[in-house]
Amino acid sequence: MSEETEKILKEISNKLDQLIILGKLSNKNILDNYQKEIKDDSLYSKLVEFADGTISSSDLAKKVALETGSAEITIKVRIAKLREMGFLTARKEGREVFYEKSELFE
């Protein structure tokens, strides 16, 4: 990669970071309410706690099911809701999907 390309990509990255910060600031109350709702719900909070990017989606569902006593199908629905809201991000490696909490929690 050329030095000019790296410079442009770094500038784009900085501008994207600024947009994310502005989005968080302008929606701070909404994000705070969602974060509180997630932290107050044992299932959501366990999902966010365990979603560190190192556990496959199926193992994540099993682990949360053991911790909470909830059905795996319920957990998978909650994972989908967290992804939809932007609180979990997904990364594929081959056939496996790994979840990680997004920067909306920071």
Which secondary-structure segment (H or E) carries 52?
Answer: strand 52-56
Split into its structural domains, the chain has a count of 1
Burial (Cβ within 10 Å: 0-12, 13-18, ≥19) of residue 44: buried
Mean pLDDT score, 62-86? 94
Residue 86 region by backbone torsions, left for phi larger than 0, else alpha for psi between -120 and 50, else beta: left
Nearest to 102 by CA among 85, 92, 94: 85
Distances, alpha carbon 48 to alpha carbons 51, 78, 101, in Å: 5, 11, 6
pTM of the predicted protein model: 0.75
Asked if residue 24 has pLDDT above 90, the reply is: no
Show the domain range for 70: 3-105
- Give the neighbor-by-neighbor strand order of the sheet with 52-56: 52-56, 96-101, 88-93
Label residue 35 by pLDDT band (50, 70, 90).
confident
Label residue 28 by pLDDT band (50, 70, 90).
confident
**What pLDDT sits at residue 106?**
66
Report the CATH number that the domain containing residue 42 is assigned in CATH: 1.10.10.10
Nearest to 38 by CA among 77, 85, 103: 85
